[in-house]
A and B are shown apart, each in its own frame.
Chain A
Amino acid sequence: MSITEGDVAIRLRGVEKRFAGATQPAVTSLDLEIPRGQIVTFVGPSGCGKTTTLKMINRLIEPTAGSIEVLGRNVGSMKKPELRRQIGYVIQQIGLFPHRTIAANIATVPKLVGWDKRRVAERVDELVELVGLDREMLQRYPSELSGGQQQRVGVARALAADPPILLMDEPYSAVDPIVRGRLQDELLALQRRVNKTIVVVTHDIDEAIKLGDRVVLFEVGGVVAQQGPPGDLLAAPASPFVEEFLGRERGLKRLSLLTVADADLTTGWTVEAATPSSEAVEVMRANGLEWIAVRDDNRLLGWVWLDDVAAVTRAGDAPLHEFRAHVTPSTPLREALDGIVTSQTRVAVVIDEGRYLGMLTIADISESVGRGTG
């Protein structure tokens, strides 16, 4: 996937970083283009230079060689404060100012760039709503908030002056897995509204896959082992290193990227509720079915056992059982698979706004994952 000229937000050319006293460079002649309006995740083992690369973008670390352009301007030619006020920054330890209220923390950059009081106050209100914080918290101090709340404030502070670019350094490593999952979902929802260029550094491949429109996988020494949309990496790892880093469950990870809409559905055996039972039993016997789904036009009512149908006059009169696994076209396949393996019928029924679309089986899922791997 190549990127056209105007769509590049950040461009690194031949960037190198050697720390004083280190034998190996942290980053070696790195070329990288980060497309505008996308989330790009930097992932790799520790010491791979991903954080160093991130910090060179806003010049917290200065490169030894090479050039970095942000929105077409060479960062080396800009004054650091001027550059940084255009780039939001979120770190693992959050780094809220403990002596300032939440409102004042969020207002940091707008105040630095000299917005008037009213505009700052309006913006703080907007951001509180955007990141899902309680307005009551505005007058509290950071130490009075939970880790997850503090991280939301950190994001609000980073977005305060509406910077086109947001850099995040291991933003969710310090919070527990449940909160982390929720914050990741919030970031994705937020991105649909704000449409920023976001670079996220993480050591967690699952996080990189979940958040990234593109994933850049680094090897030690700041060398890019592979980059591209996460599905491409999972489908075709470029080297044994990439394959190993992606982990054993590559197939399952791809399932979390694909949705039910990506799979070809089995039509599934169904009968109308009004169908005489003799007819239904005939269909089931002919196809070796032990159960069959019962529908009322587009609506799925449930499923019935063969023996039960035989005992009544119409298919719909037999005791109906509910399908456990209901999915929609936008459900990730991984979640659908989970539903299938825990249901009695071994299928997930696909329903879109009340309309029955079909059934999903394990075979359908294998088929869709198999596609593209070659």
Chain B
Amino acid sequence: MLDVLAQASLRDEFVAWSWINDRWDEVWEHTVDHVQLTLFAVAVGLLISVVLSAIALWWRPAYGPITWVTGFLYTIPSLALFAFLVPITGLGFVTAEIALVSYTLLILVRNIVAGVDGVSPAVKEAADAMGYTPVRRFLAIDLRLATPTIVAGVRIAAVTVVGLVSVAALVGEGGYGVLILDGLRRDFSTPIVLGAVLSVVLAVAIDVALLLVERALTPWARRGVAR
């Protein structure tokens, strides 16, 4: 009886701090899940995108079809994609990741191709003339110099995925989406606000972390120009 009363009073508040204070362990678990789902999706997305970009850069006519397909994937509403995938791959990690990865591809492929296209033709010609094999040049010169543009793409992709991971709770995966779903089911605002706020904080944190990664990866970009 008291418990019910307590619940009722919690519901009157927009954010019930006492409810949150009792559940920090649970929140931490959701955070770990959310970060894992995000990083895995971005990492796999980056790997696939590098391969797709290599194909597009090697054989230009392939670039059009690659952007059509990835663009199409990008435009499917996430709920619809989950609904489509569940009958095929079931509930769980694989379904969540297929959907999440598919949203990163367009952004990443575009940025990788644009980044590599932006590398000075003189540098590419010099690398060829020094005797680089095409694969080695792509990895050691082209991708390396495209790093700023690629990381910019990774940042957008990561922020997008952080948002989408919340929806993955629908297919039985963890993350802040669990809090939000819980709140929606019980008509209880506190977990909804908590999940949304944490999701935003995480997105910002990952964005800043990637910015630092970019600075660490491009030490040449911040040296003064002597000319």
Contacts and interface: CB of A to CB of B under 8 A. Distances in A.
B201 to A, nearest CB: 33
B131 A95 contact: no
Interface in B197-225: 218-220, 223-225
B128 to A, nearest CB: 6
A241 interface: no
A39 interface: no
Interface in A115-143: 140-141, 143
Interface stretch (A11-19, A83-91, A257-265, A310-318): A83-91
Interface in B85-128: 120, 122-128
Please classify the interface of chain B as helix (H, G, I), strand (E, B), loop, or mixed, using the class held by over half of its residues. Answer: helix
Contacts of A83: 131
A102 to B, nearest CB: 11
Interface residues of A, number: 33
B185 interface: no
Interface in B117-164: 120, 122-133, 136, 141, 144-145, 147
B64 to A, nearest CB: 21
Contacts of A113: 131
B227 A97 contact: no
Interface in A95-118: 95-100, 108-109, 112-113
Contact of B127 (A85, A97, A167): A97
A6 to B, nearest CB: 26
A95 B123 contact: yes
B223 A89 contact: no
A244 interface: no
B133 A95 contact: no
B122 A99 contact: no
Nearest to B123: A95
Contact of A93 (B120, B128, B224, B225): B120
Contacts of B132: 81, 112
B1 interface: no
Interface in A232-289: none
Contact of B226 (A95, A112, A144): A144
State the 10 A-B residue pairs at the shortest beta-carbon distance, nearest first.
Answer: A95-B126, A93-B122, A85-B131, A89-B129, A95-B122, A84-B131, A81-B131, A141-B220, A144-B226, A99-B220
